A and B are shown apart, each in its own frame.
Chain A
Amino acid sequence: MVYTYGTEEWEEAYRELVEERLAKVAKPYLMGTPEWVATYEKLIQEDEPYKDSAKNWEGTVVIHILANPAMGLDDDIFMLMDLWHGDCRSVRLVPREAGKNADYVLSGELERWEAVMKKELDTTKAMMQGKIKLKGSLPTIVRYVKASTRLTELSSQIDTRFHSQLTDEERAEMMGWFKELRARFGF
């Protein structure tokens, strides 16, 4: 069945998908998969330093990972974080349109995000060097450097498998099921 993003059906089906995959898939989770995103969401929701540093934050933030077919990512991924006054209301894989329209969009190549999540690349530095692009109001985001740094730190705490670590067989298999999920959920 195909779900329309923004509807209750989509949200319910997405939650079921996450539960199913968390029960089925063994760790470490592949970066950018629904189970990885759900783990990230839980980490943010339970993190007191994040809550404290983002207590006045309002707005959606998207991590946009650019497609890299050679690495098994045949289309872009948009990971939307709905953040409000220190709460993380949700983190979801979302369709392109929804991702592009977020208040803040951080875009980068898959390798760059891998480096960020391995703590090999500082996000602030990466932005100035053009390795990661930022769309959104700079004066607002600047006030929350501590919060955004914390979000990055949390992503690096997830037991993660990266696309670059997949074998060719694993990559081909992943592309198959991920394509099927994209077709159902539009992300």
Chain B
Amino acid sequence: MAYDRELSFIYNNPTRTIYGENSIRDIGMEVENLGCSRALLVTDKGVAEAGLADRVAQALGRRYAGTYDRCVQDSGVHLVNEGAAFALEKGADSLVSVGGGSTIDTAKGMAVIMKEGGCLQDYSGIQMLSRPQTPHIVVPTTAGTGSEVTYAAVIKDWEQNVKLLFCDNFIIPNTAILDPTMTAGLPAQLTATTGMDALTHAIEAIHALQCEPISDAMALHAIRLIVEYLPRCVEQGDDLVARGQQQIAATMAGVAFGNAQVGLVHAMAHSVGALFKVPHGLANSILLPHVMLYNLEDCPDRYALVAQAMGLDTRALSDHEAGEAAAAAVWKLTKKMGVPQRLRDAGVPESGLAEAANLSLSDGAIVYNPKMIMEAEEVLKVYREAW
């Protein structure tokens, strides 16, 4: 997969990114920078109860229009519609999402309905929008999803029981505020698994078929930061240097996969998430090294880059050996952080693996995996290894 004359890409990274301890204090100015004056805060009950939403509301000051705090895991179309109606009722001209991936996705959907009106389902697909949407600032409270800089949102239609995927450059948030104090209270296990989500984004961006040199740079540096700082975050949650570097890494990994895409790890993680409620970061964490080994013969040079970024000495190793060493290093990292190593430990029954394998074939991420997969049996083999 070395680059040659066929290399052709569009690199897109429009999100203004602000970093610093207590940088949340600048959020009012950021709302005004977007030409807005009233921002609705979008969050979930947990973040609200932790006092994080209040901090943002206070920082917004006179630009604060109200709070919509009904976001839940697996965001729903009905919540997006409800939230958008609430925002318009409050006279909001912008959104500030404070939370993890589901909250950010809810706000991405709300931004569309506030601007376009109508039915959210009409915009499901790839690049269906044709103009900028309601301005959206993201304040992540986890350091993993990268959703603050990506063009994708997954929102469930609860009535039809289907997940709708929205891939559109016009839903990329305008601004991301990375404030390490906003993630300092995250429990150790959640820190570890969401952090592994970021590592998976970075490594999948390296092996994905749409990889290119600029996203490579983002991904490789994200890997360096995660390997160094994620264990520190887990060991000592109030280490704001480590928290900050991990946040930066998650955002860089988000930029990387937003351009290069992701592959089989995400397809498989989405499936066990949908069927057995395995948290996304945990599923990624368990599956990542198995998929690396499965893909290894198709892109050993890419995994050699990963090994180097992980700080492994690869001088005496072939690319293939370096790839194996990288997968082993992922296991070592998760073991060190006390993250479960097997799908059976994450509540996945062996009897459910075949269904999950079949479901994975319908996941958009699988298209970008370096090894082309057409049969569920192939995916099932990887699931069995990880079980």
Residues of A within 8 A of B (CB): 124-125, 127-130, 132-140, 142-143, 145-146
Contacts and interface: CB of A to CB of B under 8 A. Distances in A.
Interface residues of B, number: 24
A142 B125 contact: no
B362 A134 contact: no
Interface of B: 8-10, 12, 124-128, 162-163, 165, 167, 169, 210, 261, 361-364, 366-368, 374
Contacts of A135: 125, 128
Contacts of B9: 129
Contacts of A137: 124
Contact of B361 (A124, A130, A143): A143
Contact of A130 (B124, B127, B362): B127
16 contacts: A124-B367, A128-B167, A129-B10, A130-B10, A132-B127, A133-B125, A133-B126, A135-B128, A138-B124, A138-B125, A138-B364, A139-B162, A140-B362, A142-B363, A142-B364, A143-B361
B261 A128 contact: yes
A136 B128 CA distance: 10
A133 B361 CA distance: 22
Nearest to B165: A138
A99 B124 CA distance: 18
Contacts, number: 52
Contacts of A134: 125-128
A143 B362 contact: yes
B363 A139 contact: yes
Nearest to A105: B125
Interface of B is mostly: loop
B52 to A, nearest CB: 33
Contacts of B361: 142-143
A145 B128 contact: no
A19 B374 CA distance: 38
A132 B128 CA distance: 9
B366 A142 contact: yes
A154 to B, nearest CB: 19
Nearest to A106: B126
A140 B169 CA distance: 22
A145 B210 contact: no
A130 B169 contact: yes
Given A138-B165, A146-B374, A128 B126 contact: yes
B128 A133 contact: yes
Given A130-B10, A142-B364, 11 more contacts: A129-B9, A133-B126, A133-B128, A134-B126, A134-B127, A135-B125, A142-B366, A142-B367, A143-B361, A143-B362, A145-B367
A138 B128 CA distance: 13
B145 to A, nearest CB: 19
A139 B162 CA distance: 10
A161 to B, nearest CB: 25
B308 to A, nearest CB: 27
Residue among B125, B128, B363 having the largest count of chain A Cβ atoms under 10 Å: B125
Contacts of B128: 133-135
Nearest to A129: B10
B127 A133 contact: yes
A74 to B, nearest CB: 21
A134 B124 CA distance: 9
Contacts of A128: 126, 167, 210, 261
Contact of A139 (B12, B127, B362): B362
B125 A139 contact: no
Contacts of B366: 142
Nearest to B359: A139
Closest 6 CB pairs of A and B: A139-B362, A134-B126, A130-B127, A133-B127, A135-B125, A129-B10
Contacts of A124: 367-368
A38 B169 CA distance: 35
